[in-house]
A and B are shown apart, each in its own frame.
Chain A
Amino acid sequence: MLAREEASGPAWLSVEGLASHYGRIQALRDVALTIAKGEIVSLVGANGAGKTTLLRTISGVQPASAGRIVFEGEDITTLAATARVSRGIAQVPEGRQIFGPLSVADNLRMGAYLRKDGEIAVDMDRIYALFPILAGFRARPGGSLSGGQQQMLALGRALMSRPRLLLLDEPSMGLAPVIVDQIFAAIVRLKSEGMTIFLVEQNAFAALSIADRGYALETGSVILSGNARDLLADEKVKEAYLGI
């Protein structure tokens, strides 16, 4: 039943036969997946499964050693990271990766580094409206914020590029449940506004609960895929990722 691909829109991002290596270590092998416009697709998997590597490869900060990444009909497999940002792909990296010495406002401004339009200030206010706590810390160095605030800042920074595809790498990692709820609420809200989201999580239950579809990755390969509701009910998934 899981093998049946849920009828979703046409592939907007598609990854085909993707492989990636760190030196001689192969971190991804023959990965295939698709994301349709407006979907939340979740990717679950244990430590070291290759989730981060997959996102890094889609963003272009890690080279693909085989396969293709196609975004909006364009093969972006060998494009530089900068070019992918300007195509509309943004990533909130694992561990947040805030610019510690830069202020909260400058962190957000850096998110809009490639933009030339005049609406950057407007968008910044939108981020402050989405995460009001950041508004009070505009001038504080990003590195001085708490983990949860940094996660909000990292998400805000990614949104400042006006992405159309948002890649999120374990946004709940190390955060208190109440903060995780806020982050997930923000993700759901972004989807309702039309954002397409690829969500990587070890917290499989939370990730699949808000997703349309899901994939499971194990030692660099996709081992399961399907409708998120079906995955949540699947015995194998329950056992391996939900701890039930």
Chain B
Amino acid sequence: MSQFLQFLFSGLTEGAVYAMVALGFTIIYNASDVVNFAQGEFVMLGGMVTFFANAAGIPLPLAALIAILVAVVAGLALNRFAIEPARGASVVNLIIITIGASIFIKGLAQLVFDKRFHRFPAFSGDDPIRVLDATILPQSLWVLFGACAIFSGLWLFFARTLVGKAITAVAANRLAAELVGISAKRMMALSFALSAAIGAIAGILITPISPTSVEVGTLLALKGFAGAMLGGMGNPLGAVAGGLIVGIVEKMSAGYVSTNYKDAVAFIIIILTLLVLPTGLFGKARVDRV
């Protein structure tokens, strides 16, 4: 029991990161039908930039802020220089473009940083907190609360604010949005910025628990994508649920079966979802465009 609980806690923590990556996929997908495989690089940038800025003497909170800004700039550049010029390209071509962009960002990060793993101190120390007969790290709580805060914030943004609704309007009908004076270009840029910021925050929150390197983005993107698919591409609630499930299944299989297969879990989930449940657990959140 205590072991199960322990795996569950670490699965939830890992899953919360995947959920944030999956949310990033969802926002961009809903705004533009683009499946952005560079999403993991935003997480990488969040952790790496924070580490190097912090190592250069900048206090952690400020370093984190800089990292978020760097990721946002990367997201805006990705949209402006890779996605926007390819408007109208097929889904497959757009995916290839985002994979190319992710390789490019990774390569650039290798030049600027290094290839080693890095971590920075946890925000509230490393003393485990006892919960029932297991323990949880204070940083795990940061990750979980961070994911909750981002999810609620996004929900409020899309359901309650004019700009949030304008993004939905562009996604639903780009022409009609232009005709009421919404700039579809600006909304696209905004959704890339938003996704990048969320990815970076995930990277900042998790790095004290799982050290980061320039290489971590690829697998994170894959696992976040698995979560988004499992939950139903385009559905924010599904993205969160899917991300958490991927994290939990991964840790359970690592704990009870073998750590060798940890990274295979995401692949298996993607394949099973495609075969058995192509619309995902929660289907698509969109109302039909009549």
Chain A residues with CB under 8 Å of chain B are 59, 61, 80-82, 85-86, 90-91, 93, 97-102, 106, 109-111, 113-114, 141, 143-145, 147, 150, 157-158, 160-161
Contacts and interface: CB of A to CB of B under 8 A. Distances in A.
A102 B179 contact: no
B166 interface: yes
Contacts of A150: 290
A179 B176 CA distance: 22
19 contacts: A59-B178, A81-B178, A82-B181, A85-B180, A98-B176, A98-B290, A99-B168, A99-B169, A100-B173, A100-B288, A100-B289, A102-B165, A102-B172, A109-B165, A110-B177, A111-B180, A144-B287, A145-B290, A147-B290
Given A101-B286, A150-B290, A113 B166 contact: yes
Contacts of A141: 287
Interface string B166-204: 101100110111111111000000000000000000000
A76 to B, nearest CB: 14
Contacts of A110: 165-166, 169, 177, 180, 182
A101 B172 contact: yes
B172 A99 contact: yes
Nearest to B179: A91
A90 B179 contact: yes
B162 interface: yes
Contacts of A97: 173, 175-176, 179
B182 A109 contact: no
A97 B289 CA distance: 9
B5 to A, nearest CB: 39
Nearest to A112: B180
Given A93-B175, A109-B165, A110-B166, A100 B181 contact: no
A-B pairs, top 3 by smallest CB distance, nearest first, are A85-B181, A97-B176, A114-B181
**What interface size band does chain B fall in?**
20 to 34
Given A102-B165, A106-B165, A113 B287 contact: no
B231 to A, nearest CB: 18
Given A85-B181, A144-B287, A100 B172 contact: yes
Given A110-B165, A110-B166, A100 B286 contact: yes
B288 A143 contact: yes
A145 B285 CA distance: 18
Given A98-B173, A101-B168, A102-B172, A61 B290 contact: no
Contact of A113 (B182, B285, B290): B182
Contact of A86 (B178, B179, B181, B289): B181
Given A100-B290, A101-B172, A143-B289, A113 B178 contact: no
A227 B36 CA distance: 55
A193 B173 CA distance: 30
Contact of A109 (B162, B176, B178, B181): B162
Contacts of B179: 59, 61, 81, 85, 90-91, 93, 97, 158
B165 to A, nearest CB: 5
A91 B286 CA distance: 25
B168 A102 contact: yes
Given A101-B287, A110-B182, A143-B288, A61 B175 contact: yes
Contacts of A145: 290
A47 to B, nearest CB: 19
A106 B172 CA distance: 13
Nearest to A91: B179
Contacts of A82: 178, 181-183
A102 B290 contact: no
A93 B181 contact: no
A138 to B, nearest CB: 14
B55 to A, nearest CB: 44
Given A61-B175, A97-B173, A99-B172, A113 B288 contact: no
Nearest to A115: B181
B225 to A, nearest CB: 23
Interface string B8-28: 000000000000000000000
Contacts of B176: 93, 97-99, 157
